[in-house]
Amino acid sequence: MKSNSAHFDVAVIGGGAIGLSCAWQLAARGARVVIFDRLQAGREASYAAGGMLAPACEAAAHPWNCSPQAREEMLSFCFDSRDSYPDFAARLGQETGIDIELSLRAAATGDWRETGILFVPKTEKDSRLDALLEHGLAAAWRGKTAVFLPDDGQVESRKVVDALRAAAKLSGVEIRENCQIRRLKIENGRAVGIDDDKDTVRAERVLLCAGAWSGKIAGVPPEIAGSLRPVAGQMVQVRGERRVRHVIYSDACYLVPRRDGRLLIGATVEENGFQKRVTAGGVAKLLTAACELVPELSDAPLEAHWAGLRPTTGDGLPLLGATSVENLFVATGHGRNGILLAPATARAICALLLDGKAVSEAFSPARFGGE
């Protein structure tokens, strides 16, 4: 195997929303960064996502399995990331010319959609309503009790990924696509680079952002390999035109209207290993739930369907920070919230790698073992 003469400050494995946003921010601060993706960057979970910026709904509907203190840290990480989106979107727009279609009260864009998310529980006695009301307003939806979360919203996740890829490139990141990393290059217990099919590439630090696949690379320590699992989600797209004006979130499905009239209906939650498929049952379940919520959708033309794998940890919190292998760092495990958390994750990783500022213990891979 030949050794590539280029030497980088950071080699990033995985070019999804997380790897790309970290690479972009690191390069913007002067680091020499290379990023590897085994496909075209951004075409896995980040491309499948609904793009909701929905911290309160997510915390209520899919509670994290962690201590109350870790929950508070995760919530504030989520809110902080959501609140960074106006600036994140503006920078991406200025640098790349790509509009990520942010729909958030704090960044009024003037399109036909309304900002905010409406949470519609199964019953009005739902015990989660109190927690949601801390962040929202009591509302009614077609005669049902609901909570309106005015500060939540959405982005077009595919445009986020495209803009991040362009911004990373413009900042000097070397993007190597169709390039699968098979193993970490470890010498004397320290990560010194990576091996792909053809080359060894040396770097001062390696940042692992390979999403659900992060544990499959040889040399990845057990606290990462053993703590991550893929959770599949199927999604359906119909032509909603303007029948739904803001995100609606229920236990059975969520509806996300895109600016151009597409309406995304998501998403199933399935544990089938690395199988990523769209099934008749999955699509039927989503369409039935959507039509129960908004009966007018029953004649909406069906346009597309897809599936993705959410990189998920045992407690539902991300894996961020140093690992038990010196100079190997990780940013993955964002589960259902990786689009939401991309800005705050990039900030935390830059602060760690460039300023030596530790990431919250709540997200440390050490909670799953290691040194």
Ligand X SMILES: Cc1cc2nc3c(=O)[nH]c(=O)nc-3n(C[C@H](O)[C@H](O)[C@H](O)COP(=O)(O)OP(=O)(O)OC[C@H]3O[C@@H](n4cnc5c(N)ncnc54)[C@H](O)[C@@H]3O)c2cc1C
Contact residues for ligand X, defined by CB under 6 A: 13-19, 36-39, 41-46, 48-52, 180-181, 209-211, 213, 217, 233, 235, 266-267, 308, 310-311, 332, 334-340
Phi, psi of 354 (to 5 degrees): -100, -25
Strand ranges inside 78-219, DSSP E: 117-120, 137-141, 144-149, 153-154, 174-176, 181-187, 190-196, 199-208
The encoded tokens of residue 48 equal 């499948």
In sequence order, the 6+-apart residues with CB closer than 8 A to the CB of 30 are: none
For ligand X, which is the closer residue by CB, 145 or 289? Answer: 289
Phi, psi of 250 (to 5 degrees): -130, 175
For ligand X, which is the closer residue by CB, 64 or 145? Answer: 64
CB of 349 to ligand X, least distance (A): 12
How far are the Cα atoms of 43, 70, 205, 245, 337 from residue 361, in angstroms, in the given order?
30, 8, 21, 39, 19
For ligand X, which is the closer residue by CB, 42 or 136? Answer: 42
CB of 125 to ligand X, least distance (A): 27
CB of 101 to ligand X, least distance (A): 13
**3-class DSSP assignment, residue 339:** helix
For ligand X, which is the closer residue by CB, 44 or 151? Answer: 44
For ligand X, which is the closer residue by CB, 340 or 344? Answer: 340
| Rounded distance between C-alpha atoms, residue 313 and residue 230, angstroms | 9
> In degrees, to the nearest 5, what angle opens at C-alpha 309 toward C-alphas 177 and 174?
20
For residue 179, the Cα-to-chain-centroid distance in whole angstroms is 22
For ligand X, which is the closer residue by CB, 37 or 151? Answer: 37
CB of 55 to ligand X, least distance (A): 9
**136 exposed, middle or buried (CB, 10 Å; 0-12, 13-18, 19+)?**
buried
Task: Residue 220: name the closest of 46, 22, 14, 15 by CA.
Answer: 14
For ligand X, which is the closer residue by CB, 240 or 338? Answer: 338
